[in-house]
């Protein structure tokens, strides 16, 4: 199958979007960025449990691609750690995200899993696990079920440049291609996998060419242009819905904040981050499009910004009041039957070990 | 009704479950027109078509993962490993993604991974494995390993209906060597329950899969030659383990021999021994002993395979020591 | 000499072994310029260059397999898993290809797979695993899991020199929390030998890795509050298991508590219980008991993680019961 | 990287082969075929333990590719089940093969492993395991060691069309490509993986295009033309030796005998096997080249045929006299140290269970 590079498709699906919908794209990108900024504050206040993973500079690729799905038709996506924006578009709520990052008892996973590792097949996202690549076979199966049942639904799965090296990616996309599953595979090329630059990840020049190995179309687009992203993804979604099978889309973007908050990015060449920030920030770029090409008024965007902050404020307040996870809840739901694992005999009746049993300071300081 | 083999019993279960529930479908290498390497799925594609009987590329992680995805959406996939040895390629998908799906993300994952397991067939190190112990320590999975034809059928039907992922190990030595009449009607055997394969009072052998037959043969010999009354417990399900049945037999005979075909160190016998210690230590009149394979990769040549795998004579000799303890 | 951390001890071992033997080289994700997710390999690439410190693509099966190939040719690869949880992706390569290479094909396979393991760090289900039990039943592998800084150094050096494949688990909770002065000179600790971490006569706790520290803390508390003399055995190597040390402590105290951080069912404790039964049943004055994690995927939130993992209070309470038995 | 299809390269490395070497190619192909025919006889006499896997019709691809390596330079290959020919070229002996198939105590694996699963890094082949794809990472590592040590050696690894779907293939070839290891990857496209036709294995039309995913050259050649096979492989071997990295070669051939002797090939379309046999048998084709283009005399080939048979006869006689494997040898060599695993306590002193302990008939016939 031929692969092609396009910044914006010649016939643009986004032309069919109403202005309202186009403004909505801005809302989602802004919400993504501001919500992550709030999480940074909470992280610094040590209210976030575990690491914090940013998608700064990648908001367009997440939002633009997810926007191409149709939730009313039951489309489903599986996000990665940098796809907060995709999840928001599919209906995840800031309150859920904050609770999840704070490991609260009423968070979507009740404290079992980290950050944005959660899902809801009704709203249309399947929770990822940490093991990179694994979601590709899983989404191949989700979309296989659409095909088997003759449902006109589409699935989308995200992988990083790094994750394309995994065997799971290969086995999953190959399976989906053979079965012509209605699946769109988004390769987010943000230049790095943790500290590893693409040149050490693969000898291909363009990740879209990986499509050649599976007999499916591979398309590269500018992932920092939200409309271009929407355009290529929408074409692939339509193609999938028509029963024509899998498309691989490489979205060019850049990870400005390192792997996670603790990463000092010492391995990044001088000036690279600043260049992307100044010349290729996806929100700034889209603001220009909105103001200049689409004649949206600045105050309309300001109003969105204000709305976003107040939504996040409200969510933060609620999340802070959320209860901690309940220790014995840990025993529930490993199996459908039995619904609860028996407590260990010496633990029956015990709540959290830290609360009741553990001497706080001593542990592990023994020096011998 | 006529007697059918262990293999035919499995096939019958597949046909019945595909008929009963249109969400049930099968995936695996060469399971369609060819009917699978052992012909377990023979006739299935002819009847249900290639949408419900899918020949897959050689990618165990891929199609096991796909089964998980389909199962989230309400399907009931039954996945064949051409040989169970290849389940190792799906180890990550099974232990990390599938076993935890319900717990971490409230995603139901009702699927079955099944395939020919075990030795005594000159299969060599990569066509004879018993991988149950490697999964025993994965909460979220269920593990079934039947020893009789009717259990094979009834447990597979139960596995397909189970709302959680089930690893269903089939012993390939038994495929065509044992026969049995199937109970009439919709024969379903509950997962999690052991079976008393032979009643006895002097000594208990706890085992599962092919070595159930070795144990039964040893029991007969011990009865004839030594007048010993040996109870044989066929675990059938390894996860969850039937503690009640284990404790009951310990309390009855006070002497326990655990037999499995898998290698010794890290095998399932250890877990059983620990549980007996915890629940019925006072009832033990002798140490819990094990007869297992030696701790080597299973070699291929008949004299080597015979030497490494547990044999009836081993069970007899250890049982005698245990009885005399 | 100054005290160094468990993590620094590992790094020191890597530097010393790379210096000693030019066949030693390292592979893993982000281990080069970045120095690894935990900075274990910091400085290594600066000193030895990117031929001997190789940043790999994200493909655990790929680079573990590559390590095997290189090891056949006389190299001594040391492979880092960014988190040990990802070793599951190399499960097939390790258990089928690598563990059997010497036996089936007379191919030496001297390599080390190492990485941050274990919980107590709010890592959630996929950054906290203890995968040792899944490999325990694979003849051909060796498994090491040190609890102290000097053992971490000495055992890693031994692992790199070992002519067989060694899985080297490092407990990430210990990385920066414990410190110790290294023995002078070329400090190598023999693989396969347990260590008496604390002498005692009333009761033995057999354990390894991070829970050695829990056990020591419990022992202290039991001594102070109950006047009990508790012996703590740090296994250090899980495969091959040090039967002698285990039997010796059983014969000495007659009461055994096995503690591990891993989930209960199918964990290493079972194997230990079985061995004690076989070798020292007569010396037991009480059942062998286990303190372990509960059988669930390890959850993330602090109250949940604390509840699931074994804590000092658990050890104390079970030890009291055992002592009073 | 571009991929290309070529039946014979325009500048042909085989032109540099002496006539003697060209005749040698015939010898290896004939030896391969006749040895397998002998194994069929032994199989029918139930002297072969386990299955019997044929390479009938694929001899040219195995022999021609292996012939492109240079044993004197220490080149190494890793064969598959249908690469008996490759192993013979690298120095494996018929006697070893027969002993191995008969599971003899003095076979190369002393009865531990099956059929042609054995290796010898000195002669230059690394023993495969059953798990398909795994040898690709392993050979990536073998050739990595050549690179690290600055040795001018080359490695070659075979995979079937089917095995290209494995994650191990993907991870291994990608790693080798990034590291520019001196590795040649031969994809033997014989139409089937067991019963599975290529159309169900992958949606690519040509497996050579899989190279595109790794940024390496992919070349397709006629695997039933031994000189064409030699040519493309030799180019790739030279390229690897020059330090230019990995090449993927797709060799077109056909598996005439099914997956193994027990396979009735019911899934093969009528006439397909016969067509390949009549029109495209690699030995017949090469015989014509030898007789017609290279003016070799028929009697020279007849002499080779006779020599092959007498070698196989001699090997068979020896193998039949070989001792069975020694039961307690099973305990040796799991580890370097200890050299021997302790016998289980109740087994100390016991020889083969079957010989001494087991009642032969009773097992598994219990019916309850
Ligand atoms: C199988 C596996 N190996 C290693 C890791 C550790 N890891 C987490 S994120 C990461 C880098 C991912 O890079 P990429 O796929 O490019 O995604 P990005 O972070 O750039 O969005 C690595 C190596 C993992 N999660 N899974
Ligand atoms: C990982 C794995 N899965 C399944 C098998 C079972 N199996 C053995 S050979 C084979 C078909 C191989 O086809 P191909 O790679 O095309 O090689 P060919 O036999 O055609 O030479 C299969 C599925 C295996 N050996 N390894
Ligand atoms: Mg990336
Ligand atoms: Mg093939």
State the DSSP string of B242-271: -HHHHHHHHHHHS-EEEEEEEESTTSHHHH
CB contact under 8 A, B286 and C287: no
> Quick count: other Cβ atoms within 10 Å of Cβ B199?
12
| Residues in CB range of D94: below 8 A, 6 or more apart | D31, D35, D88, D311, D312, D315
Does the structure show a pLDDT above 90 at A261?
A: no
Q: B289 to chain C: which residues are within 8 Å by CB?
A: 277-278
Percent of chain A with pLDDT over 70: 92
For ligand 2, whether the C-beta of D190 sits within 6 Å is: yes
Q: What is the average pLDDT score of chain D?
A: 93
Using one digit for the tens of pLDDT, what is the confidence trace for C32-67? 999 999 999 999 999 999 999 999 999 999 999 999
Band (pLDDT 50/70/90 cuts) for residue A368 is: very low
Q: What was the pLDDT predicted at D349?
A: 66
Peptide bond into D127 cis (omega under 30): no
For ligand 2, whether the C-beta of B89 sits within 6 Å is: yes
Task: Give the closest residue to D98 by CA, choosing from D59, D45, D61, D146.
Answer: D45
Strand partners, B198: B232
Task: Give the closest residue to A124 by CA, choosing from A63, A66, A86, A71.
Answer: A71
SS3 D129: coil
Instruction: Choose the closest CB to A202 out of D165, D167, D215.
Output: D215
Q: Strands C112-117 and C76-80, how do they pair?
A: parallel
User: Which of A33-37, A49-53, D164-168 is predicted least confidently?
Assistant: A49-53
| Residues in CB range of D41: below 8 A, 6 or more apart | none
CATH 3.40.190.10 fits C3-181, yes or no: no
| pTM for this prediction | 0.97
Helix (H), strand (E) at residue A272: helix A272-279
Task: Give the closest residue to D313 by CA, choosing from D90, D64, D41.
Answer: D41
Q: Nearest C-alpha to atom 17 of ligand 1 is from which residue?
A: A160
Q: What is the CATH number of domain C195-324?
A: 3.40.50.920
User: Which of A139-143, A351-355, D186-190 is predicted least confidently?
Assistant: A351-355
Q: Nearest C-alpha to atom 6 of ligand 1 is from which residue?
A: C82
CA–centroid distance for C97 within its chain: 22
Q: Does B38 touch chain D (CB under 8 A)?
A: no
Separation in Å, CA of B232 to nearest CA in chain A: 27
- Nearest-angstrom CA–CA distance, D366 and A300: 82
Cα separation values, D140 from D64, D136, D137, Å: 22, 6, 5
Q: What was the pLDDT predicted at A10?
A: 64
Closest residue in chain B to residue A135, using alpha carbons only: B65
| Residues in CB range of D308: below 8 A, 6 or more apart | D27, D30, D31, D34, D35
Q: Mean pLDDT over residues A342-363, rounded? A: 60
Q: B71 to chain A: which residues are within 8 Å by CB?
A: 141
Tell me how far the alpha carbon of residue D192 lies from the centroid of ligand 2, in angstroms: 9
Task: Give the closest residue to C172 by CA, choosing from C130, C215, C235.
Answer: C130
Q: What was the pLDDT predicted at A367?
A: 29
Q: Mean pLDDT over residues C116-131, rounded? A: 96
Does the structure show a pLDDT above 70 at D7?
A: no
Q: D131 to chain C: which residues are within 8 Å by CB?
A: 92, 96-97
Q: What is the average pLDDT score of chain C?
A: 97
Closest residue in chain A to residue C123, using alpha carbons only: A50
- Nearest-angstrom CA–CA distance, C294 and A345: 10
Band (pLDDT 50/70/90 cuts) for residue D11 is: confident
For ligand 1, whether the C-beta of A194 sits within 6 Å is: yes
For ligand 1, whether the C-beta of A162 sits within 6 Å is: yes
For ligand 1, whether the C-beta of A193 sits within 6 Å is: yes
Band (pLDDT 50/70/90 cuts) for residue D347 is: confident
CB contact under 8 A, D175 and C71: no
Q: What was the pLDDT predicted at D348?
A: 76
- Nearest-angstrom CA–CA distance, B162 and B155: 10
Does the structure show a pLDDT above 80 at D353?
A: no
Does the structure show a pLDDT above 70 at D355?
A: no
> Quick count: other Cβ atoms within 10 Å of Cβ A279?
10
Band (pLDDT 50/70/90 cuts) for residue D262 is: confident
SS3 D356: helix
- Nearest-angstrom CA–CA distance, A228 and A221: 7
Helix (H), strand (E) at residue C11: helix C6-20
Cα separation values, A64 from A68, A77, A93, A251, B167, Å: 7, 13, 18, 10, 40
Q: Is C279 a catalytic residue?
A: no
Q: Mean pLDDT over residues A128-156, rounded? A: 98
Cβ under 8 Å to A: C residues 151-180: 173-174, 177-180
- Nearest-angstrom CA–CA distance, C249 and C231: 8
For chain C, how long is the longest CA-to-CA vector?
Answer: 60
The subunits that touch chain B, with at least 3 C-beta pairs less than 8 Å apart, are: A, C, D
> Quick count: other Cβ atoms within 10 Å of Cβ A361?
7
Q: C103 to chain B: which residues are within 8 Å by CB?
A: 125, 296-297, 299
Q: Crossing angle for the helix pair D167-179 and C60-72, nearest 10 degrees? A: 70
To the nearest 5 percent, what fractions of chain C are helix, strand and coil?
40, 20, 40
- Could you give the residue range(s) of every CATH 3.40.50.920 domain in chain B? 195-324
- Nearest-angstrom CA–CA distance, B318 and A199: 61
Band (pLDDT 50/70/90 cuts) for residue A6 is: low
Q: Nearest C-alpha to atom 20 of ligand 1 is from which residue?
A: A193
Do residues B303 and B202 lie in contact, with contact meaning Cβ atoms separated by under 8 Å?
no
Task: Give the closest residue to D129 by CA, choosing from A94, C96, C225.
Answer: C96
- Nearest-angstrom CA–CA distance, B73 and B75: 6
**Full pLDDT tens readout for chain B, 325 residues:** 699 999 999 999 999 999 999 999 999 999 999 999 999 999 999 999 999 999 999 999 999 999 999 999 999 999 999 999 999 999 999 999 999 999 999 999 999 999 999 999 999 999 999 999 999 999 999 999 999 999 999 999 999 999 999 999 999 999 999 999 999 999 999 999 999 999 999 999 999 999 999 999 999 999 999 999 999 999 999 999 999 999 999 999 999 999 999 999 999 999 999 999 999 999 999 999 999 999 999 999 999 999 999 999 999 999 999 999 9
Q: What was the pLDDT predicted at A8?
A: 53
Q: What was the pLDDT predicted at D36?
A: 98
Percent of chain B with pLDDT over 90: 100
Q: Mean pLDDT over residues D298-317, rounded? A: 98
Does the structure show a pLDDT above 50 at D264?
A: yes
Using one digit for the tens of pLDDT, what is the confidence trace for D63-112? 999 999 999 999 999 999 999 999 999 999 999 999 999 999 999 999 99
Do residues D136 and D169 lie in contact, with contact meaning Cβ atoms separated by under 8 Å?
yes
Task: Give the closest residue to A157 by CA, choosing from D201, D204, A144.
Answer: A144
Closest ligand to D55 CA? 2
What are the two backbone dihedrals, phi and then psi, of residue D183, each rounded to the nearest 5 degrees? Answer: -130, 135
Q: What was the pLDDT predicted at A262?
A: 86
Band (pLDDT 50/70/90 cuts) for residue A347 is: confident
Task: Give the closest residue to A79 by CA, choosing from A156, A191, A18, A9.
Answer: A156
Using one digit for the tens of pLDDT, what is the confidence trace for D107-163? 999 999 999 999 999 999 999 999 999 999 999 999 999 999 999 999 999 999 999
Q: Strands A196-197 and A76-78, how do they pair?
A: unpaired
Percent of chain A with pLDDT over 90: 89
Q: What is the average pLDDT score of chain A?
A: 93
Select from B92, B307, B325 the residue whose CB has the most chain D CBs within 10 Å, as the one to mutate to test that interface.
B307
- Could you give the residue range(s) of every CATH 3.40.50.970 domain in chain B? 3-181
SS3 D303: helix
Q: Alpha-carbon Rg of chain D, whole angstroms? A: 22
Using one digit for the tens of pLDDT, what is the confidence trace for D227-237? 999 999 999 99
Count residue pairs from A and C with Cβ separation < 8 A. Answer: 188
CB contact under 8 A, D168 and C64: no
Q: Alpha-carbon Rg of chain B, whole angstroms? A: 19
Q: Strands B179-181 and B3-5, how do they pair?
A: antiparallel
Residue A119's region, left for phi above 0, alpha for psi from -120 to 50, else beta, is beta
Atom of ligand 1 nearest to the CA of C126: 25
- Nearest-angstrom CA–CA distance, C122 and C108: 39
Does the structure show a pLDDT above 60 at D50?
A: yes
Select from A174, A206, A207 the residue whose CB has the most chain D CBs within 10 Å, as the one to mutate to test that interface.
A174
Using one digit for the tens of pLDDT, what is the confidence trace for D187-199? 999 999 999 999 9
CA–centroid distance for A296 within its chain: 28
Q: Mean pLDDT over residues C92-106, rounded? A: 97
- Nearest-angstrom CA–CA distance, B64 and B27: 9
Instruction: Choose the closest CB to B62 out of A118, A127, A172.
Output: A172
């Amino acid at each position: 199958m031929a692969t092609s590079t396009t910044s914006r498709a010649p016939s643009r699906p986004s032309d069919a979007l109403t202005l309202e919908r186009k403004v909505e794209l801005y809302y989602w990108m802004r919400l993504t960025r501001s919500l992550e900024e709030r999480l940074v504050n909470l992280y610094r206040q040590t209210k976030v449990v575990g690491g914090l993973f940013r998608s700064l500079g990648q908001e367009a690729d997440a939002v633009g691609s997810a926007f191409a799905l149709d939730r009313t038709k039951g489309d489903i996506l599986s996000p990665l750690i940098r796809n907060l924006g995709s999840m928001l578009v599919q209906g995840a709520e800031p309150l859920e995200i904050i609770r999840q990052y704070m490991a609260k008892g009423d968070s979507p996973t009740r404290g079992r899993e980290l950050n944005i590792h959660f899902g809801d097949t009704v709203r249309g996202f399947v929770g990822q696990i940490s093991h990179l690549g694994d979601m590709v076979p899983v989404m191949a199966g989700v979309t296989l079920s659409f095909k088997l049942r003759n449902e006109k639904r589409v699935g989308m799965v995200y992988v990083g440049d790094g994750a394309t090296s995994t065997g799971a990616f290969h086995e999953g996309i190959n399976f989906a291609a053979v079965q012509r599953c209605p699946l769109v595979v988004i390769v987010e090329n943000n230049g790095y996998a943790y500290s590893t630059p693409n040149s050490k990840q693969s000898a291909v020049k363009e990740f879209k060419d990986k499509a050649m190995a599976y007999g499916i179309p591979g398309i590269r687009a500018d992932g920092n242009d939200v409309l271009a992203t929407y355009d290529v993804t929408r074409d692939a979604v339509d193609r999938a819905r028509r029963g024509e099978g899998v498309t691989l889309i490489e979205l060019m973007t850049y990870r400005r904040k390192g792997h996670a908050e603790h990463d000092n990015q010492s391995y990044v060449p001088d000036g690279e981050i600043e260049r992307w920030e100044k010349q290729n920030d996806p929100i700034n770029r889209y603001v220009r499009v909105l103001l200049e090409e689409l004649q949206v008024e600045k105050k309309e965007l300001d109003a969105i910004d204000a709305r976003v902050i107040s939504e996040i404020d409200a969510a933060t307040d609620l999340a802070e009041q959320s209860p901690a996870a309940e220790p014995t809840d840990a025993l529930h739901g490993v199996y459908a039957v039995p619904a609860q694992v028996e407590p260990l005999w010496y633990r029956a009746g015990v709540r959290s070990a830290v609360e009741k049993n553990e001497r706080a300071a001593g542990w592990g300081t023994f020096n011998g | 009704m006529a007697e059918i083999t262990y293999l035919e019993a499995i096939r019958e279960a597949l046909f019945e479950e595909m008929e009963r529930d249109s969400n049930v479908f099968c995936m695996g290498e060469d399971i369609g027109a060819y009917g699978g390497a052992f012909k377990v799925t023979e006739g299935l594609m002819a009847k249900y078509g290639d949408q419900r009987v899918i020949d897959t590329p050689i990618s165990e992680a891929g199609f096991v993962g796909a089964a998980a995805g389909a199962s989230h959406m309400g399907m009931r996939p039954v996945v064949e490993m051409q040989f169970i040895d290849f389940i190792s390629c799906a180890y990550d998908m099974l232990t990390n993604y599938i076993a935890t799906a319900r717990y971490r993300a409230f995603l139901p994952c009702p699927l079955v991974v099944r395939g020919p397991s075990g030795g005594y067939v000159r299969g060599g190190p990569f066509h004879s494995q018993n991988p149950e112990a490697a999964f025993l320590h994965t909460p979220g999975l269920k593990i079934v390993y039947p020893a009789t034809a009717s259990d094979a059928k009834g447990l597979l039907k139960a596995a397909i209906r189970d709302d959680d992922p089930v690893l269903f190990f089939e012993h390939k030595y038994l495929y065509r060597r044992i026969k049995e009449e199937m109970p009439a009607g919709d024969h379903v055997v509950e997962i999690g329950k052991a079976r008393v394969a032979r009643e006895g009072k002097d000594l208990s052998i706890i085992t599962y899969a092919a070595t159930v037959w070795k144990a039964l043969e040893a029991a007969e010999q011990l009865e004839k030659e030594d007048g010993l009354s040996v109870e044989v417990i066929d675990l059938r399900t390894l996860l969850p383990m039937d503690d009640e049945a284990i404790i009951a037999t310990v309390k009855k005979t006070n002497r326990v021999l655990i037999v499995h075909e898998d290698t010794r160190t890290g095998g399932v016998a250890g877990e059983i021994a620990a549980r007996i210690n915890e629940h019925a230590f006072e009832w033990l009149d002798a140490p819990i002993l094990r007869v297992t394979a030696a701790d080597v990769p299973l070699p291929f040549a008949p004299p080597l395979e015979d030497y490494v795998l547990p044999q009836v004579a081993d069970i007899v000799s250890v049982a005698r020591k245990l009885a005399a303890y």
